[in-house]
């Protein structure tokens, strides 16, 4: 009878959903479970080696990842002598998913009746993939520097148990109780094949006991072999441990690049682009960088900094991307290895190292040059990349003054003339009509919404192309990118846009004078909602539109400040009217006949409400609006 105390825990909801997703959606790709467990073991050893740089008592003479098989009991064990886990870490690491956005991600997957492998690839299944092949998993772990060891036990359903364990050395053992249908994962050949395919480049030795039959010589002096074999067990290393980033690019196959990427990123997809080079000069380093094919789940949750591993002379130091690239390149994965950085030093001191700053500049320059070449030579491929990561890349225009011009050249947009195609700013400038002075843009929630807005009417009539900006980050882009190639960026729905020719301006001035009493009346009547009512050069067909004041902040910016808990003063828009529209002309006659007419008041309000609807805003009182429309229809009849 065991005297060990067993504690029971419930899985978090996200873990339950992920387990169900993994088991049912990745069933035909079960081999990856071994890759994931080996990768976790490798990470644990890296952490221990790093800590031993400043505390030699934690280090070992040799490290390894071992695979053990028990065919009779159907057990497969993956063990390491890495950092190990405390009781709290077992609960946190194996009972919850700490990634921000996980809940929304899983809800979206659930909504997709046909869960597709690309979405799962964005998440990375990690430790939980082992439940594809195991009915039960035990994790026995002892943290470096601690006396006690613990065992985590789960059957992958409602929760898990935790109890004290007997383990002499620090490290972790993951014991899989394999399902009957998955006994092939106990076969020597199968394990070797999986390790070779997925984990050949892992720095630490991956070993397994191999049974061999030896036929010893007889003792009769005739040098004959004994017919009865002797079984010998030898520990065999399964991986070559070749760090592919130190190889020449010509010596690495596409398959090797792809598998190394999957090892680093836990992504199921092949990478979109590989950047492999050696930098020489005042500072030398090697870099193997990847652009993923799909945007990962945690793209907009900046607290997860993993992405680029930093090595010094092939010793792992850290995997915080922010030490190698700025935030707007956080989607980059890979390895940077330098012999010029100090080894035995804390991460905090390393972050201030001048050599590291030079490496960072070199890496950023290489990435941006690679993207520029892709845009110039393979524009369709660049558009695929941009659909996934363009919104993140554009953040650099606001934050990185040094590379602002390069990033501006890399920025592409849909336009009012491009259809479904993208267009860069440089091409936009080339295509501008001779009489167009500025670069015009429109911030909108979607392309479909933007194309219907009345503010575009005069621009379309004159043949002026307008950039359609639909990413929330575009607010920051246009606040930083005030001009490009000497041409100002001007919002089509902000301020008093100057696109009228001299004769049109003269005609508009005459109309303003002729209609000044009506405009004054409407401004006063709508003063609670609008700053001013005026005539516009933007409109050709619609009767009205709403535009922002020249110095007002955008709707996206206003929503962002409110989300941050900052109170915002009410920002009144400007109601612009089409002086040529028949409704305005009729309204003028009615106003001049009876300026206190209820009809003039009703039409003034309806013109404003129409403008609200046209720009996609909510009506203040839909019931009153409907009632007023009905009354006017009856009067008309």
Is the pLDDT at 328 greater than 90? The verdict is: yes
- The CATH number assigned to the domain holding 416 equals 3.40.50.11260
Summary count for the chain: helices (H), strands (E): 22, 23
φ, ψ for residue 169, nearest 5 deg: -105, 155
Is residue 378 in a domain?
Answer: yes
Please, what is the angle between helix 582-593 and helix 516-525, to 10°?
90
Could you identify the residue written with the tokens 């680093």?
A: 264
Q: How confident is the model at residue 218 (pLDDT cuts 50, 70, 90)?
A: low
Using a 10 angstrom Cβ sphere, with 0-12 exposed, 13-18 middle and 19 or more buried, the burial of residue 636 is: exposed
End-to-end CA distance of the chain: 93
Q: Do 285 and 425 share a domain, yes or no? A: no
Q: Which of 483, 479, 469, 478 is nearest to 423 (CA)?
A: 469
Could you identify the residue written with the tokens 């993140």?
A: 392
Q: What is the mean pLDDT of residues 433-437?
A: 93
Q: What is the mean pLDDT of residues 533-560?
A: 83
pLDDT value of residue 84: 96
Helix (H, G, I), strand (E, B) or coil at 365: helix
In this structure, of 66-75, 218-227, 336-345, the range with the lowest mean pLDDT score is: 218-227
Counting Cα atoms < 13 Å in the Cβ hemisphere of 321 gives 23
Please, what is the angle between helix 598-614 and helix 622-636, to 10°?
120
Instruction: Output the CA–CA distances (angstroms, integers) from residue 265 to 83, 118, 161, 331, 460, in the order listed.
Output: 21, 14, 29, 10, 46
In this structure, of 402-411, 464-473, 609-618, the range with the lowest mean pLDDT score is: 609-618
Is the pLDDT at 109 greater than 60? The verdict is: no
> Which positions ≥6 away from 389 have C-beta within 8 Å?
291, 295, 331
Q: Do 75 and 176 share a domain, yes or no? A: yes
Q: Please report, to the nearest 10 degrees, the dihedral formed by the alpha carbons of residues 404, 409, 415, 420 taken in order.
A: -120
Sheet holding 544-547, edge to edge: 530-535, 573-577, 544-547
pLDDT value of residue 169: 95
In this structure, of 31-40, 302-311, 388-397, 453-462, the range with the lowest mean pLDDT score is: 302-311
Q: Which of 366, 465, 371 is nearest to 411 (CA)?
A: 371
Average pLDDT over the chain, rounded to whole? 86
Q: How confident is the model at residue 102 (pLDDT cuts 50, 70, 90)?
A: low
Model pLDDT for residues 55-79, shown as the tens digit of each residue: 889 999 999 999 999 999 999 999 9
Percentage of the chain modeled with pLDDT above 90: 55
Q: Which two tokens stand for residue 284?
A: 């030398």
Are residues 14 and 102 in contact, defined by beta-carbon separation less than 8 angstroms? yes
Counting Cα atoms < 13 Å in the Cβ hemisphere of 473 gives 15
- The CATH number assigned to the domain holding 12 equals 3.30.565.10
Is the pLDDT at 354 greater than 90? The verdict is: no
φ, ψ for residue 281, nearest 5 deg: 140, -135
Beta strands 315-320 and 171-178 are unpaired
Q: Do 27 and 105 share a domain, yes or no? A: yes
The rounded radius of gyration (Å) of the Cα atoms in the chain is 33
Domain boundary among 454, 470, 491: 491
- The CATH number assigned to the domain holding 576 equals 1.20.120.790
Q: What is the mean pLDDT of residues 553-579?
A: 76
- Total tally of structural domains belonging to the chain: 4
In this structure, of 277-291, 339-353, 490-504, the range with the lowest mean pLDDT score is: 339-353
Q: Do 625 and 527 share a domain, yes or no? A: yes
Q: Do 16 and 162 share a domain, yes or no? A: yes
Segments in 540-636 forming alpha helices (H): 555-563, 582-593, 598-614, 622-636
Strand partners, 333: 290
Q: Do 24 and 139 share a domain, yes or no? A: yes
Q: What is the mean pLDDT of residues 461-481?
A: 93
pLDDT value of residue 173: 97
Instruction: Output the CA–CA distances (angstroms, integers) from residue 180 to 72, 74, 133, 300, in the order listed.
Output: 12, 8, 9, 42
Is residue 448 in a domain?
Answer: yes
Domain boundary among 491, 526, 557: 491
Q: Do 332 and 422 share a domain, yes or no? A: no
Between CA 629 and CA 619 the distance in angstroms is: 13
Is residue 203 in a domain?
Answer: yes
- Per the model's pLDDT, the better-predicted residue between 519 and 13 turns out to be 519
Is residue 231 in a domain?
Answer: no
Is the pLDDT at 342 greater than 80? The verdict is: no
Is residue 109 in a domain?
Answer: yes
Is residue 234 in a domain?
Answer: no
Between CA 586 and CA 593 the distance in angstroms is: 11
pTM of the model: 0.72
Are residues 12 and 105 in contact, defined by beta-carbon separation less than 8 angstroms? no
- Per the model's pLDDT, the better-predicted residue between 321 and 377 turns out to be 377
Q: Do 345 and 313 share a domain, yes or no? A: yes
Q: Do 19 and 147 share a domain, yes or no? A: yes
Is residue 357 in a domain?
Answer: yes
Q: Which two tokens stand for residue 206?
A: 């991956």
Is the pLDDT at 2 greater than 60? The verdict is: no
Q: Do 122 and 249 share a domain, yes or no? A: no
pLDDT value of residue 156: 84
Question: With the C-alpha atoms ordered 458, 459, 463, 469, is the resulting torsion angle positive or negative?
Answer: negative
Q: How confident is the model at residue 119 (pLDDT cuts 50, 70, 90)?
A: very low
Q: Do 170 and 259 share a domain, yes or no? A: no
Could you identify the residue written with the tokens 């429109």?
A: 442
Q: Do 63 and 125 share a domain, yes or no? A: yes
Determine if residue 171 is left, alpha or beta; phi over 0 gives left, psi from -120 to 50 gives alpha, anything else beta.
Answer: left
Between CA 257 and CA 314 the distance in angstroms is: 18
Domain that holds residue 66: 6-219
Is the pLDDT at 103 greater than 80? The verdict is: no
Is residue 464 in a domain?
Answer: yes
Domain boundary among 491, 522, 542: 491
- The CATH number assigned to the domain holding 295 equals 3.30.230.80
Q: How confident is the model at residue 150 (pLDDT cuts 50, 70, 90)?
A: very high
């Amino acid at each position: 009878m065991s005297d060990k105390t067993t504690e029971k825990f419930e899985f978090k909801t996200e873990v339950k959903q992920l387990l169900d997703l993994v088991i049912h959606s990745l069933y035909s790709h079960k081999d990856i479970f071994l890759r994931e467990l080996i990768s976790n073991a490798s990470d644990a050893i890296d952490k221990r080696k790093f800590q031993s740089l400043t505390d030699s008592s934690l280090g070992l003479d040799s490290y390894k990842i071992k695979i053990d098989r028990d065919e009779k009991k159907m057990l497969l064990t993956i063990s390491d002598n890495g950092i190990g886990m405390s009781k709290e870490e077992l609960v946190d690491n194996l009972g919850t998913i700490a990634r921000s956005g996980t809940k929304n991600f899983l809800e979206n997957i659930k909504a997709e009746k046909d869960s597709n492998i690309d979405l799962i690839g964005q998440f990375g299944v990690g430790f939980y993939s082992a439940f594809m092949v195991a009915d039960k998993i035990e994790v026995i772990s002892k943290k470096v520097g601690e006396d006690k060891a613990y065992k985590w036990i789960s059957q992958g359903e409602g929760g898990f148990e935790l109890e004290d364990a007997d383990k002499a050395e620090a490290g972790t053992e993951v014991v899989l109780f394999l399902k009957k249908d998955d006994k092939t994962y106990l076969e020597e050949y199968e394990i070797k094949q999986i390790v070779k395919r997925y984990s050949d480049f892992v720095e630490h030795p991956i070993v397994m006991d191999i049974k061999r039959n030896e036929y010893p010589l007889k003792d009769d002096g005739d040098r004959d072999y004994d017919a009865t074999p002797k079984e010998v067990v030898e520990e065999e290393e399964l991986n070559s441990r070749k760090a592919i980033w130190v190889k020449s690019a010509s010596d690495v196959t596409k398959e090797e690049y792809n598998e190394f990427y999957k090892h680093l990123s836990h992504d199921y997809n092949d990478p979109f682009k590989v950047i492999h080079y050696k930098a020489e000069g005042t500072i030398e380093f090697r870099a193997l960088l990847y652009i993923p094919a799909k945007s990962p789940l945690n793209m907009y949750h900046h607290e997860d900094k993993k992405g680029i591993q930093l090595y010094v002379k092939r010793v792992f130091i850290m995997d915080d991307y922010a030490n190698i690239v700025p935030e707007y390149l956080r989607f980059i994965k890979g390895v940077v290895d330098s012999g010029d950085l100090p080894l035995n030093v804390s991460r905090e001191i390393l972050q201030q190292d001048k050599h590291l700053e030079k490496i960072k500049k070199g890496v950023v320059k290489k990435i941006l040059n690679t993207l520029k070449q892709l845009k110039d030579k393979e524009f369709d491929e660049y558009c695929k990349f941009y659909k996934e990561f363009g919104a993140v890349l554009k953040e650099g225009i606001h934050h990185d003054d040094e590379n602002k011009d390069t990033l501006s050249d890399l920025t592409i947009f849909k336009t009012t003339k491009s259809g479904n195609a993208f267009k860069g700013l440089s091409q936009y400038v080339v295509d501008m009509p001779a009489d167009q002075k500025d670069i015009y843009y429109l911030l909108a929630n979607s392309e479909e919404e933007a194309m219907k807005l009345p503010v575009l009417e005069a621009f379309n009539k004159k043949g002026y192309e307008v950039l359609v900006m639909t990413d929330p980050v575009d607010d920051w882009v246009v606040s930083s990118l005030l001009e490009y190639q000497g041409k100002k960026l001007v919002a089509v729905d902000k301020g008093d846009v100057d696109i009228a020719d001299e004769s049109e301006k003269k005609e508009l001035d005459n109309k303003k004078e002729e209609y000044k009493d009506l405009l004054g009346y409407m401004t006063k009547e709508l003063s609670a909602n609008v700053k001013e009512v005026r005539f516009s050069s933007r409109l050709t067909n619609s009767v009205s539109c709403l535009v922002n004041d020249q110095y007002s902040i955008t709707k996206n910016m206003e929503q962002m400040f409110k989300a941050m808990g900052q109170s915002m003063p009410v920002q009144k828009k400007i109601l612009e009217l089409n002086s040529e529209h028949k409704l305005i002309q009729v309204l003028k006659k009615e106003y001049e006949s009876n300026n206190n007419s209820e009809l003039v008041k009703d039409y003034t309000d309806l013109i404003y409400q129409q403008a609200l609807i046209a720009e996609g805003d909510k009506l203040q009182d839909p019931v009153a609006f409907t009632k007023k429309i009905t009354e006017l229809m009856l009067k008309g009849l």
